[in-house]
Amino acid sequence: MSGSATSEITLAYIGGGSLNWAQVLMADLVHDGTVSGEIRLYDLDEEAARRNAALGERLSRAHGRNLRYKAVPKLAEALTGADFVVVSILPGSFEDMAQDLGLPEGEGVRQSVGDTVGPGGFLRAMRAIPQMAAIGEAIRAHAPQAYVCNLTNPMSVLTGALHAAYPGIRAWGECHEVTKLRHILAWLANRKAGEIRYDFRDVQANVLGVNHFTFVDRAFVGGEDMLPAYLAFAAEHRAKGWRPAPLDPENEVQRYFEDVNRVKFDLAARFGIAAAAGDRHLAEFLPASWYLGDNEGWGFGLTPVSWRRKDRDARRAAAREAQQTNEAPPLRAASEEALVAQIRALTRGETLVVNANLPNRGQLEGFAPGTIVETNALFSGLGVQAVAAGRLPPAVEALVKPHADRQNAVLAAVLAEDAPTLEGLFLSDPLNAPLGPDRAAGLFRAMAAATAERLPPALRRYG
């Protein structure tokens, strides 16, 4: 690595056959233009990694970038000598995810995402923690000084698995959900200014919480505290929600992934603090009677696995077409992900303050040491350093902390292959608890049996 005009890096991408995140990174590197080097793509699906390597090469050449893409068949080969490692894997398959959503729905438990908490997030964690721990061990063996960015959900427990496997790892979890609140704050600042002067990157927000259940208690735009204006705006639009343009019911991406901010506004009005993540994520951390029981009334959708499959198939078809034409694929618009900016800061001595998921070293008061929490972090030539965030209000901490403690316990129980403890933890999740202990235990056993072949041997007892 160097501090010259272009940073030369070696980056290992685990899950490099991804039809989404890997290709997002390819486009963002082209748009940024300050990073060059070798991008090694490793995937259990070697053909998918080779396809992406060819697409990346053509994209790089078409736009005059010195980015060299290479599909590698072995994880050790991808990692050896890497400066950066990106982890973006699908724990299991969409067929497994269909079980994660379908079996709970049969018991009346609805989920809007199913990848972080609730029954779906729980089983996904059980499948993915051993995989992520193995990746952490491989990083310790082959790239111990690399910076490691985890993009995989459930982010808290999987980032924790990396640190549990290799306590010296330089790893964080990167998530874009807080950006949704930043957009609203920038919009409010522009409305006050009477012109478009700011975008979400100009918002300084103090972030507190755990991934997908984050809050902001201070927010500045252009040197002005915008949190009072936000809280007033949330109260004004609490009853019906608000977004800059109405949701298009014919647009499936909007229907399944966007919202009218009504959950955020309701939480702000109740607790005097801004909830930061998207509504469909926030709702899953709370009892179903709050929001999920009437998701349409609250203005957010339930993302079906059928749509995910359809989107995957469309992306595969587009990738095959680009591969057959041997032409550069169309350049995607730059994303709002922070990863390339984080790489630039770490390699060029720039400074970047942005939310990140890191082990708690006191940056979030009231949470156990080592818990993976989401607060701001400073990225610079000196590394990644958590920024002190303070403490959540007591009423909000009472909602967030049990999830953090449960995630710690789930991580420990999966690594210990302790099935009885996992069953007990499953019962205490707010979406599962209303079933009562017998029905919730039955659901846990049915879900574990449904994807037993993807679980460690000692956790297949129900299969």
The catalytic site residues sit at 176
User: How buried is 446 (Cβ within 10 angstroms: 0-12 exposed, 13-18 middle, 19+ buried)?
Assistant: middle
Could you count the other beta carbons within 10 Å of the beta carbon of residue 10?
Answer: 20
Alpha-carbon gap, residue 377 to 207, rounded angstroms: 10
- Tell me the two tokens of residue 388: 């002190």
- CB-CB contact of 355 with 379 (8 Å): no
User: Cα–Cα distances in Å, from 302 out to 89, 132, 266, 275, 463?
Assistant: 22, 27, 19, 20, 28
Which residues, at least 6 apart from 349, have a Cβ–Cβ distance to it below 8 Å?
3, 380, 381
Could you count the other beta carbons within 10 Å of the beta carbon of residue 148?
Answer: 26
Alpha-carbon gap, residue 85 to 69, rounded angstroms: 14
Three-state secondary structure call for residue 14: strand
User: Cα–Cα distances in Å, from 35 out to 70, 77, 79, 332, 456?
Assistant: 16, 22, 19, 18, 39
